[in-house]
Amino acid sequence: MIQNKEKNTYALWLPSWYPNVLTPLNGDFIKRHAEAVSLYENIVVLHIQKDEMGVVTKNTKETIHTTDSLTEIIVYYHPPKTHIGIIDKLLSYIWHRRSYRKFIQRLIVKNGKPRFVHVHVAYKVAGIALWVKRKYGLPLITSEHWSGYLKEAKNGWKQLLYIERHFLKRCFLESNRVTSVSKYLGDALIEEIRIDSVEVVPNVVDTNIFNLKESAIKSPLQFIHISSGGPEKNIELILEACSIIKKKGLDYKVWLVIPNKKKIEPTVIRWNLTENIVFLDEMPQTKLAEYIQNSDALILYSRYETFGCVVIEANACGIPAIVSDLPTFREYCVENKTALFAGMNNSSMLARQMMHLIENKDSFDRQTIAEQTRQRFSYETVGQQFKELYTTISS
C-alpha cells in the first residue's frame, strides 16, 4: 500500500471531511490538498464516515483506493440505535472513536509508524489526533479550513459541546504546526483559540482540469455562480442585482450551480428572471470546468469566506471574478486584474460591477490570469509548501 519515495515512510492524514460515496463533494478541497502533497510524500488518508441510514453497510465497511503515493481509506459505520436521542449520539461517538483506533492500530502494525499525523478540519478528529500523538510519540500538524472560527459564522466552534471544544483546543495547542487556508482564518484562530501563530497554506486548483481554453464569442454575456447555496452565499442579493441589470435593458445569462434550487426558484420568479437564470445541478469538476471556461465571469458575493476555491478555479481558466469585498478575497484577488470587488450587502454596487464587466469584458487578460493562478495555486506549488513544512518538522 505504501509506495517508496525517499524513504518507506508516510504521513497519516485524519480529515473530518473527505469525499465518499455518501457525501461525494464534502471536503473535496482536502482531497485536492492530499493529491498535491502526494507528489512529494507518501500520504495515507483515513476517514471514518457515519452511515446513518445504512446505505453502504449495516455494520462496518472499509474501502481502500491507492494511486501512486496516495492511499485513501474510507471506513463506513452504521451505529446501533435505541431511538433515544442522547444514547444514540453517545453510541455513535463510541463507534466513531473505536473505529479510528482500530484502523490506525492495524495500519501501523502493517506499515509501521507514520512520520507524523496531519489533521484537516479538526473538530471531529481532534480527540483521535491527540490519542495518536501521545500513544505513538508522533509530531502533529493541524490544517484548518472551517469557517466556524470566524466571528461572522452563525454556527461555529462555540456551539460545539464542551468536550468537543476541550479536545479541539488541546489539538491546536499541542500541534507542532498549525496552518490555515487564509490569513483571515488564521487570525481568527489566533484570537479564538489563543494559539501563538498560524502559517498560511492556500487551497489548490487542479490545473489539469481548470485551464485556459479558447471559446467562441458568447452572446449574451455569461456569468456563473457555484456554491452550496447557503445563506452565507447571498444568492438573494445576486438575484436582486440581476433584476437591476435587466431593468437597464442589458442582455445576459447567469448559470447557478447550486444543490437547492427549489429554495431559490420563487425569488427568480418574483424578480422576473426566468429568462436570465439557468439552474444547473452539482457536477464533477471535469464538467464544471467546461461551464467555467464558457463563462465570462464568476460571481461569488459571500457574506464570509475562509477562502473560496471556485474563485481560483475560475481564474485558472482565465475567467475573472466579481466578489464581495472581504479580507479573504483581498489576500489573493487583484482588483481590475483578476477580480472586481463589490461592497458588502449592496445589490446596486454588485449590479454596477456586473454591468462594468459586461461593457469591459475584453479588458481582462485571460492568459495572464490563468498563468499567475497556476504559478500560485497549482498542485506543484502548494504541494511544495507542505513538503517544506514537513521537512522542518522532521529535521
| Separation of CA 163 from chain center | 26
Retrieve residue 361's grid coordinates: 469584458
Retrieve residue 387's grid coordinates: 513538503
- Residue 290: the pLDDT is 96
> Over pLDDT 90: what percentage of the chain?
83
Q: Are the CB atoms for 10 and 114 separated by under 8 Å?
A: yes
- Is the pLDDT higher at 84 or at 304? 304
Q: Would you say residue 94 has pLDDT above 90?
A: no
pLDDT tens track for 189-219:
999 999 999 999 999 999 999 999 986 566 7
Cis ω before 220 (30° cut-off from 0)? yes
The CATH topology of domain 11-204+378-394 is Rossmann fold (3.40.50)
**Which residue, 226, 271, 265, 207, is CA-closest to 244?**
271
Domain-wise residue ranges, the chain? 11-204+378-394, 221-377
Does the reported pTM lie above 0.85? Answer: yes
Q: Are the CB atoms for 84 and 105 separated by under 8 Å?
A: no
Which of 5-14, 170-179, 330-339 has the weakest average pLDDT? Answer: 5-14
List, in order, residues 6 or more apart from 131 with CB less than 8 Å away.
101
pLDDT tens track for 268-320:
999 999 999 999 998 999 999 999 999 999 999 999 999 999 999 999 999 99
**Which residue, 147, 141, 137, is CA-closest to 13?**
141
Using pLDDT thresholds of 50, 70 and 90, give the confidence band for residue 5. very low
Q: Are the CB atoms for 123 and 16 separated by under 8 Å?
A: yes
Cα end-to-end span (Å), the chain: 25
Placement of cell 510524500 in the chain: 41
pLDDT tens track for 23-57:
999 999 999 999 999 999 999 999 999 998 999 99
**Whole-number mean pLDDT of the chain?**
93
- Give the Cα separation of 206 and 374 in Å (integer): 9
- Residue 91: the pLDDT is 79
Helix and strand numbers, DSSP H then E, in the chain: 13, 14
Query: Do 11-204+378-394 and 221-377 have matching folds?
Result: yes
Strand order in the sheet with 199-200: 60-67, 70-77, 43-50, 11-15, 116-120, 140-144, 177-180, 199-200
List, in order, residues 6 or more apart from 97 with CB less than 8 Å away.
127, 128
List, in order, residues 6 or more apart from 13 with CB less than 8 Å away.
34, 43, 44, 45, 46, 118, 119, 120
For domain 221-377, give the CATH superfamily: Glycogen Phosphorylase B; (3.40.50.2000)
Q: Would you say residue 3 has pLDDT above 60?
A: no
- Residue 1: the pLDDT is 56
pLDDT tens track for 216-253:
566 789 999 999 999 999 999 999 999 999 999 988 99
Give the mean pLDDT of 3-22: 82
Q: Would you say residue 342 has pLDDT above 50?
A: yes
- Give the Cα separation of 280 and 350 in Å (integer): 22
Using pLDDT thresholds of 50, 70 and 90, give the confidence band for residue 86. confident
pLDDT tens track for 145-182:
999 999 999 889 999 988 889 999 999 999 999 999 99
Q: Would you say residue 7 has pLDDT above 50?
A: no
